[in-house]
Amino acid sequence: MWNLSDENGVYNIGAFQLNREDFILNILYSGNENTVPTGYFTDGPEGVKGVPLIRCST
């Protein structure tokens, strides 16, 4: 797991020949009470809990 900064930026992931069809990016949040990484916030006000961290725009 990478410990990336909060800044928007470009990160070298050391991968070669990435393909749009095969690419999957998982962003996980582990700041909740049980520290189990999830793709959504488990704590917070209504409208935040359960909302995915990233939405795909097509």
Work out the pLDDT band at 55, boundaries 50, 70, 90: confident
| Amino acid 3: pLDDT | 57
Q: How far apart are CA 33 and CA 54, in angstroms?
A: 21
22 contacts 16 by C-beta, under 8 angstroms: no
**pLDDT tens-digit series, residues 12-45:** 777 777 777 877 778 888 877 777 888 888 888 8
Total domain count for the chain? Answer: 1
Q: How far apart are CA 12 and CA 7, in angstroms?
A: 14
Burial of 41 (0-12, 13-18, 19+ CB in 10 A): middle
> Which domain range does residue 52 map to?
1-58
Look at residues 20, 22, 27, 23 and name the one whose alpha carbon lies nearest to residue 1: 27
| Amino acid 31: pLDDT | 75
